[in-house]
């Protein structure tokens, strides 16, 4: 089970929490109180005792004054000292709206101007950084060492496929495919494919397949053939039973003919079939009537409701299969995505031309975002800060920088003490 720890506030890259700032505040206050106790306890000794007590008392007195001054200055930033409404105190809560506008304006003028963004992006190789991440980003918690984004990408794909309306998405895909198919002139393409197949001899298995199909069809419909011959024969032939012999002879002749065509590559019927295929390939490419017939058949096929219904069934099976594969760790989809991302990362790392194109696109995109939405971004910052109440903004800023401010109090106490001791030496010397 993963332990969730509170995320500390961040300022300048160093995690600073309110507890650490509070401890430092108590340290600075304790040092101030120690100087006050030292001052009062050595006051009498400084006048009647050893001269060294004078230096100690002067140090404590000046340290106490310096610590009090810095305490007042630091406290005045966030609240009224001792709760007294002294003018020009509680500076941050009293001026939070002006601070918000100033922060937003500073951000707009120094970070979100197109020139600044372009200059900053010019020195960045975004494509190389993305390539490094895709190649060198293994998930340490994953035993098969897959990329840590592979699992998230698979789950994202599954959720997207589930969230979208399957009928609407299927119709959109079908419309896109139909639109692309409508732009393709199928007749010349089919003619060239047929011509190329005949040139290479790849049409021969097709002819053999047609012959075998004809033989199987004839075998499955022998009774139908016999019935046709029986109905067309006259009564004398039916009475004598010759119609049965004729139908059997016809079937045997057809079987024999098909067998001869199948085994004899030089059979005349094969030449007739090939001649017909050549003419068909030429008509598909050059005959306007044939081409128009093919286009009409294509349009009828695209507009046929049965085809649309068939496609919707195919699309739903594809969608469900993709969802199952995306969620199944053993399906291989994650491994395929990992390999694909790794190959993309290698290309981004090594292909300088690709890096140039992607970096240029990223730079233009960032400049465009800064140009179009820079004002909206800084307005969001300003309005967010303005919506905070005085207690919230004071607490957040104090938690972020309060520890450093308490160091100022400590330094002020010590520096004040050293200055006081130095002045005591100068006064006593002269």
Inform me whether the pLDDT recorded for 139 exceeds 70: no
pLDDT at 150: 63
Q: List beta partners, residue 147.
A: 138
Residue bearing the bigger pLDDT, 149 or 44: 44
- 382 pLDDT more than 70: yes
Q: What is the spatial distance between Cα 245 and Cα 314, in angstroms, rounded to a whole number?
A: 50
Q: Hey, which residues does 15 pair with through a beta bridge?
A: 10
Chain segment 346-361, per-residue pLDDT in tens? 888 888 888 888 888 8
13 pLDDT band (50/70/90 cuts)? Answer: very low
Which of 13-17, 61-65, 203-207 tops mean pLDDT? 61-65
The CA distance from 399 to 23, in Å, is 11
Q: Which residue has the tokens 């404590």?
A: 60
Place 149 in a pLDDT band, splitting at 50, 70 and 90.
low
Q: What's the pLDDT band for 143 if we cut at 50, 70, 90?
A: very low
Instruction: Return the minimum-mean-pLDDT range out of 63-72, 147-156, 361-370.
Output: 147-156
* Residues 213-255: tens digit of each pLDDT: 888 887 888 787 777 766 665 554 555 555 566 767 777 888 8
Q: How many CB atoms lie within 10 A of CB 166?
A: 14
Sorted by where each begins, the domain ranges of the chain are: 13-94+388-429, 184-306
Over the stretch 45-63, which tens digit does the pLDDT of each residue have?
777 767 888 888 889 888 8
Q: Which residue would you say has higher pLDDT here, 42 or 10?
A: 42
CB atoms under 10 Å from CB of 195, counted, come to 18
Q: What is the mean pLDDT of residues 380-405?
A: 76
Mean pLDDT score of the chain, rounded to an integer? 77
Alpha carbons 109 and 429: distance in angstroms, whole number? 56
Residue 66 burial by CB count (10 A; 0-12/13-18/19+): exposed, middle or buried? buried
pLDDT of 152 strictly over 80: no
Q: Which residues contact 93 (CB under 8 A, 6 or more apart)?
A: 78, 79, 390, 391, 393, 394
Please, which residues have CB within 8 angstroms of residue 266's CB and are 6 or more apart in sequence? none
Q: Does the predicted model carry a pTM greater than 0.85?
A: no
- Among 14-18, 170-174, 248-252, 338-342, the range scoring the smallest mean pLDDT is 14-18
Q: In terms of pLDDT, which residue wins out, 388 or 356? A: 356
> What pLDDT, on a 0 to 100 scale, did the predictor assign at position 158?
74
Compute the distance between CA of residue 77 and CA of residue 88 in angstroms, rounded to an integer. 9
pLDDT tens digits, residue range 292-349?
888 888 888 777 788 777 877 777 788 788 777 777 766 666 667 767 777 888 888 8
| 90-130 pLDDT per residue, tens | 777 777 788 788 878 887 777 778 888 888 888 788 888 88
Grade residue 33 by pLDDT with cuts at 50, 70 and 90: very high
Using the predicted structure, report yes or no on whether residue 5 has a pLDDT greater than 50.
no
Mean pLDDT for the stretch of residues 68-83: 84
Judge whether residue 257 has pLDDT over 60: yes
Q: What pLDDT is recorded for position 241?
A: 55
Is 60 exceeded by the pLDDT of residue 137? no
């Amino acid at each position: 089970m993963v332990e969730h720890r509170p995320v500390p506030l961040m300022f300048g890259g160093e995690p600073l929490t309110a507890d650490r700032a509070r401890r430092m505040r108590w340290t600075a206050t304790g040092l101030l109180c120690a100087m006050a106790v030292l001052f009062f306890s050595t006051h009498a000794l400084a006048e009647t005792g050893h001269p060294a007590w004078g230096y100690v008392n002067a140090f404590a007195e000046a340290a106490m004054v310096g610590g009090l001054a810095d305490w007042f200055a630091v406290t005045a930033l966030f609240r009224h000292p001792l709760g007294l409404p002294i003018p020009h105190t509680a500076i941050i809560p009293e001026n939070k709206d002006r601070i918000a506008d100033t922060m937003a304006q500073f951000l707009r003028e120094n970070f979100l101007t197109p020139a600044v963004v372009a200059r900053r992006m010019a020195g960045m190789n975004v494509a190389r950084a993305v390539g490094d991440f895709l190649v060198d980003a293994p998930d340490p918690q994953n035993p098969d060492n897959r990329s840590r984004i592979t699992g998230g990408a698979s789950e994202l794909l599954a959720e997207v496929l589930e969230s979208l309306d399957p009928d609407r998405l299927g119709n959109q895909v079908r419309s896109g495919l139909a639109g692309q198919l409508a732009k393709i002139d199928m007749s010349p393409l089919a003619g060239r494919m047929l011509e190329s197949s005949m040139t290479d001899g790849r049409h021969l298995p097709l002819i053999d397949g047609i012959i075998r199909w004809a033989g199987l069809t004839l075998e499955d419909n022998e009774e139908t053939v016999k019935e046709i011959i029986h109905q067309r024969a006259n009564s004398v032939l039916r009475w004598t039973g010759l119609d049965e012999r004729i139908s059997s002879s016809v079937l045997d002749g057809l079987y024999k003919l098909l067998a001869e065509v199948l085994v004899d590559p030089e059979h005349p019927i094969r030449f007739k079939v090939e001649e017909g295929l050549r003419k068909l390939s030429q008509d598909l490419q050059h005959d306007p009537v044939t081409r128009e017939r093919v286009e009409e058949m294509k349009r009828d096929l695209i507009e046929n409701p049965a085809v649309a219904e068939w496609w919707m069934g195919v699309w739903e099976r594809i969608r469900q299969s993709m969802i199952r594969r995306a969620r199944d760790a053993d399906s291989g989809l994650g491994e395929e995505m990992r390999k694909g991302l790794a190959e993309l990362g290698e290309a981004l790392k090594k292909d300088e031309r690709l890096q140039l194109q992607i970096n240029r696109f990223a730079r233009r995109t960032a400049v465009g975002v800064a140009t179009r939405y820079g004002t909206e971004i800084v307005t969001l910052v300003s309005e967010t800060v303005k919506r905070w109440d005085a207690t919230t903004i004071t607490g957040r800023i104090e938690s972020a920088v309060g520890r450093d401010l308490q160091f100022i109090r400590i330094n002020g106490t010590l520096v004040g003490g050293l200055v006081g001791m130095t002045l005591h030496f100068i006064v006593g010397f002269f």
